[in-house]
Amino acid sequence: MIKGVKAMNITKANGKNEYELIENLKKRSGETDEKIVEAVTTIINSVKEQGDEAVREFTARFDGIVPRKTVIEKDELNSYLDCVDEDFKNAIIKAKNNIYDFHLRQAQQSWMTTKENGVIMGQRIRGLHRVGIYVPGGTAAYPSSVLMNAIPAKIAGVKEIIMVTPPGKDGNPNPDIMAAAAVAGVDRVFLVGGAQAVAALAFGTEKIPKVDKIVGPGNIFVATAKKLLYGVVDIDMIAGPSEILIVADKSAKASFLAADLMSQAEHDVRASAILLTTSAELARATAREIDRQIKYLERQEIIEKSLNDYGEIIVCENLDQAIDFANELAPEHLEMCVEEPLKYIGRLDNAGSVFLGNFSPEPLGDYFAGPNHVLPTSGTARFFSPLSVDSFVKKSSFIYYTEDELKKAHNDIVKLADTEGLTAHANSIKVRFE
């Protein structure tokens, strides 16, 4: 039952109401249910000990089918480009080009510096050897996530990109996901999903190779497996429910704002969609627009519950107040639907991705523009960054000292080592000059 404008609560910022909202949002990302942790731990241990046999057993149990063919090689991946809608194929190719162009600018070079005294130092940068990408299948199939995860890995110089994705009910892969994998440069795909896929990538099995890092979204079982296996393997992040925060002044259009809020609310009943505006009239108009537009959307029930539980329209005194709140909330997505949005870039310190102006809506970033859509959630934009080329490289420093230069540093190094009580460290220096 649609509740009309009541589906989105309107409050006035007073230094208290808006910050109570943050506390409410934190409750969404509480501790993982102990039963889920226990179930995932069992799966992980079984895969570690029994390998592919355990993977097949869990695939049959959770997906209802074990595909006849479990691996799709690169040549076969390319054949899926002929199996998908031509407009879709053209769209993912255009998106791939934009994503590639943006991330190519993130690539770093190894460097070395030579001083006049003969000392040489530097940093070597190279891609990880092998990376695993998890891609949901079935109804939650996201070809765009394939592009966002694989392309920066490719630019980073990752030697092999492995993808895992659950089989469909017929035992076959989702052709749209396969086509995206081909465009993005994935090397091999294994038709397996769930926590068992994450465990297989972390430990390696007879068929599925061990990887250095696992990236990509998944359900609570996948997220829990990634969390438990961090340290055995590197991961991208533990993603929480999707979030959007919009800052708008009177220049914004209510129909745009309503549409953008609901674009995130449809992800999940725990998704958060918040509007901060300096105009009470715009606040009311946006609530009415939500009521009007929601009737035509397929995920109406999800949107409504999300907006009821974690949505809010807050009327602020001015944009300064709104920006202060935005930095405190540290949202995944931040839209600035204001006059002269570019002037505020330098003040937006905590956000996963920022969308500037009335014609830069969040779905533009999700699918097409180029910046990555794998973003920090649940306030972690205060200290985490979006997925990038840096996520797929490792760095090593190197040092070369001459005998003379080490002799000059001799006393200082020994003093520091002795102060820390590490006499063997000090001896390593002393012995060279006895």
290-301 confidence digits (pLDDT tens): 999 999 999 999
What is the biggest distance separating any 2 CA atoms in the chain, rounded to whole angstroms? 86
Neighbours of 340 (CB within 10 A): 11
Rounded to whole angstroms, the Cα distance separating 280 from 129 reads 54
- Separation between Cα atoms, residue 362 and residue 207, nearest integer Å: 39
Residue 140 reports pLDDT greater than 80: no
Count of all residues that appear for the chain in the document: 434
Phi, psi of 180 (to 5 degrees): -60, -40
Count of Cβ atoms closer than 10 Å to residue 364 Cβ: 13
Amino acid type, 217: P
Q: The dihedral of CA 174, 172, 149, 299: what is its sign?
A: positive
d(CA 249, CA 357): 11
Tell me the whole-structure pTM to 2 decimals: 0.92
Catalytic residue among 103, 267, 333, 373: 333
CA–CA dist 198, 210 (Å, integer): 10
The pLDDT value recorded for residue 13 is 87
CA angle, 317 as apex, 315 and 321 as ends, to 5°?
95
Closest to 234 (Cα-Cα) out of 156, 342, 288: 156
Predicted local confidence at residue 139, as pLDDT = 59
- Separation of CA 229 from chain center: 17
Mean pLDDT of 144-169: 96
In the block, which residue shows the tokens 């006035």? 12
CA atoms within 13 A on the CB side of 400: 12
Determine the pLDDT at residue 30.
57
pLDDT at residue number 92: 97
DSSP output for 216-258: ----HHHHHHHHHHBTTBEES----S-EEEEEE-TTS-HHHHH
Q: CA 264 to CA 126: how far, in whole Å?
A: 36
- Give the pLDDT score at 32: 62
Give the three-class secondary structure for 66: coil
Where residue 327 falls (left for φ over 0; alpha for ψ -120 to 50; beta otherwise) is: alpha
The phi, psi pair for 66, rounded to 5°, reads -110, 115
Q: pLDDT band for 100, please (50, 70, 90 cuts).
A: very high
Active-site annotation holder among 266, 289, 332, 362 = 332
Buried b (16+ CB within 10 A) or exposed e, 218-228: beebbbbbbeb
> How many other C-beta atoms are found inside a 10 Å radius of the C-beta of residue 281?
11
- The whole-number pLDDT of residue 26 equals 74
Give ∠ CA 201-205-208 in degrees, rounded to 5: 55
User: What is the CB neighbour count within 10 angstroms for residue 110?
Assistant: 12
Walk me through the domains of the chain, giving residue ranges and CATH numbers. 4-30+240-382 (3.40.50.1980), 34-235 (3.40.50.1980), 401-433 (no CATH)
Q: Dump pLDDT digits (tens) for 11-50.
A: 888 888 777 888 778 777 655 688 999 999 999 999 999 9
In the chain, % of residues over pLDDT 90: 84
Tell me the C-alpha to C-alpha distance, in Å, between residue 149 and each of 133, 214, 237. 7, 10, 12
Please confirm, yes or no, whether 333 is among the known catalytic residues.
yes
Report whether pLDDT(126) > 80. yes
pLDDT (0 to 100) of residue 31: 57
